[in-house]
Amino acid sequence: MSAGRSALRMGPAELVQAAAMARRFYLEGKSKIQIAEEFGVSRFKVARVLETALERDLVRIEIRVPAELDAERSDALRARYGLRHAVVVESPAEEQDDAADPENLGEVAADLLGELVNEGDVLGLAWGRSTIHMAAALDRLPPCTVVQLTGVYDAGTAERGSVEAVRRAAQVSGGEAHPIYAPMLLPDPATAAALRHQTGIARAFEYFDKVTVAAVSIGSWEPGISTVHDMLSDEERAHYASLGVAAEMSAHLFDSDGRRVGRDLGERCITVEADRLRRIPEVVAIAGGQRKAAAIGAVLRSGLVTSLVTDTAAADYLLTDSAAPRRPALERADPDGE
């Protein structure tokens, strides 16, 4: 606390009393009633003195967050989309137009999960570069069960991808791990259905309705930014593009209004169903960058996501997007009305 120039206009007795009351309130954590009893005045008098101390610069309150976090954008984004949590981090100084999600998103998301997950929860992890980065950055989690929500991008890279992310999270928490050793996308619905009935995969699916916190990634419908896009043939990509797909999350496709399109694709995929995802109490999306900004907005309009970790580049787009949802994400409203 310091006495600014304007505070010197107070009389010495007022100045000393205000400083003492402010010290009790801001530093010692005493209530206004306790301070009033100590000084023999009313609590309303204490309130006026504290207000005057702020107005006259006797007390200065400084709110600090780590430099990489943008508190103002975070709060604005949370309010605009009705999110439960929104965390915006600074974009890299020299962001490349073709860059994937900044790796620091995963680090911040790891800290957020440390806050959100409680003992006994079931944590679900979907495939995505950002969720893999997040799992690698985890250093604290209460005891919980960890389940994989989607198959992997390529079964040959399972040890370096989703499976390893699930194992890492379970290791940090000391809980059980339920990975899925299968590709995300299969050649046809029959193959996908057969795999869903395999013992290990079926056991993981049984946990989907028990998931309390989930972490997912978002992709825009273009090369290198959507895993599903890159797994399809040119003909299939053109087909789904003709349906107006603008975003992809966990092998579910969305148009710019957040409505699901190309639902037949889900029949060929090993992934958590959209209706199950909507029932999960907390779904944290991790995605950022200019190339993903419109896709993030589309997924937010789907009502499947409750919280978001993103960067300033995407946040600036989302905060000026005229198509922002009318209903908050907390309502989990389905734009298809289902």
pLDDT in tens, 74-103: 999 998 998 999 999 988 765 554 456 677
Q: Residue 67: pLDDT above 70?
A: no
For the entire predicted model, the pTM comes to 0.78
> What is the structure's pLDDT at 104?
82
Residue 10: band (very low, low, confident or very high) from pLDDT cuts 50, 70, 90: low
pLDDT in tens, 113-122: 999 999 999 9
10 Å CB burial of residue 1 (0-12, 13-18, 19+) is: middle
Q: Which phi and psi (to 5°) does residue 308 adopt?
A: -145, 135
H-state helical runs in 90-216: 103-116, 129-137, 162-173, 189-196, 199-206
Q: Residue 231: pLDDT above 50?
A: yes
Q: Which two tokens stand for residue 264?
A: 């037949």
pLDDT in tens, 305-336: 999 999 999 999 999 987 766 555 777 878 87
Residue 1: band (very low, low, confident or very high) from pLDDT cuts 50, 70, 90: very low
Does residue 71 sit in helix, strand or coil?
A: helix
Parallel, antiparallel, or unpaired: how do β-strands 252-254 and 247-249 relate?
antiparallel
> What is the structure's pLDDT at 229?
84
